[in-house]
Copies of this chain bind each other. A is one copy, B any other.
Amino acid sequence: MPSWAYGNSGTRFRVFTQPGGPRNPFEKVSDAAEVHKYTGLANSIALHIPWDKVDSFAELKAHAEGLGLWLGTINSNTFQDEAYMLGSLAHSDPKVRQKAIDHHFECIDIMGETGSKDLKIWLADGTNYPGQDSLRKRQDYLGQSLAKIYERIGQDQRLVLEYKFFEPAFYHTDVPDWGTSLVQTLALGDRALVCLDTGHHAPNTNIEFIVMQLLRLGKLGSFDFNSRFYADDDLIVGAADPFQLFRIMYEVIQGGGLDEGSPVAFMLDQAHNVEAKIPAQIRSVLNVQEMTARALLVDNESLELAQMRGDIMAANDIFMDAFQTDVREELSQWRASRGLPADPMGAFRASGYAEKVSLDRVGGVQASWGA
């Protein structure tokens, strides 16, 4: 879970606030713990620096562990300081690049304190107008900056580089696609991997193909799960196209991404602009669980036989049979068997937590995505 899912987020038009919003990283962690409490599936929370900077990460870690969570991936931020208006690690000015590199060094230091394994880098770098800057030079600068950061991470740590098709840059983005993320991480070394955000592709892109390819190459480091109808809408994962999530999880399973010791980190990265945030995170976690369960139902033996004889209708029927199966009752029983509520959404609603924090969290400023 991302810490920022619990703070306020919005569009360029407006960030709406919601009652009971967390005012600091400790309250974000508390909210996140609710999600794990009812689902038993989300015991890690990723931090975003500087949004989640605290005086003592040891204290934050203890707070998290007390609630059954551990502190996960550290996400850097190179898009909000005024210096980064025209880029950060790929900026044409070496001073700005150094500032951005130093920020990552700080993130690595924090990783030491939190025990985080992954440094995740998503860059807003790009340009809005043709001619604004040199595509080629920026790509080279990016490679040099990443190399300096990579040098600093520990032997048991990883650098995960996210790509994004567009936004906030509108002409070119310095890491626009999985190919670019791949060649940049290949140049770094084995501990540099690709992060796939399900909302960061061109329209109509077959995402599960990329999942397959990156797993095949041993370069899939992590997921940022969400869903979208248009661009990077950052909706609840599985909300826009449940069948796509099913296909993605199927490829994850086939490629060993759920195996013991798999290098793939599964994270949500969503913006709950109008919906209640904790329920939205619970729903997200359940959606991934349900589609994973369905994907595990595929009768691969029969499927392979149908594929080998070129029987398209039979193969598709076997595949769809798993997707069409309602697994919710079985998952309720799985939860009950572990002392979890059969209905996590209902249990959270009944818990009174939302009402309680609305009353308790008075004074102070709510944490906001982008602040």
Contacts and interface: CB of A to CB of B under 8 A. Distances in A.
A313 B280 contact: yes
Interface string A255-266: 100000000000
A230 B170 contact: yes
A136 interface: yes
B325 A345 contact: no
Nearest to A230: B166
Contacts of A313: 275-276, 279-280, 283, 345
A242 interface: yes
Nearest to A370: B13
A316 B129 CA distance: 6
A368 to B, nearest CB: 11
Contacts of A208: 135, 172
Interface stretch (A56-64, A102-110, A148-156, A304-312): A304-312
A312 B254 contact: no
A139 B213 contact: yes
Nearest to A243: B242
Contacts of A229: 166, 170-171, 204, 206
Given A182-B179, A202-B203, A203-B202, A316 B130 contact: yes
A65 interface: no
Oligomer: number of copies:
4
A50 interface: no
B128 A275 contact: yes
Contacts of A180: 213
A271 B311 CA distance: 17
A7 interface: no
Interface of A: 9-17, 79-80, 82, 85-86, 92-93, 124, 127-136, 139-140, 165-168, 170-173, 176-180, 182-183, 201-206, 208-210, 212-213, 215-217, 228-231, 233, 235-236, 239-244, 247, 251, 254-255, 271, 273-276, 279-280, 283, 290, 298, 303-304, 307-308, 310-313, 315-320, 323-326, 328, 345, 369-370
27 contacts: A12-B15, A14-B124, A14-B370, A86-B310, A129-B315, A130-B239, A131-B307, A132-B307, A136-B212, A136-B255, A139-B212, A166-B231, A170-B230, A176-B206, A177-B178, A177-B179, A180-B213, A182-B182, A183-B217, A202-B202, A204-B230, A239-B316, A241-B244, A242-B324, A275-B312, A280-B313, A313-B345
Query: Across chains A and B, which 5 residue pairs bring their CB atoms closest together, nearest first?
Result: A131-B319, A179-B179, A202-B202, A11-B168, A170-B233
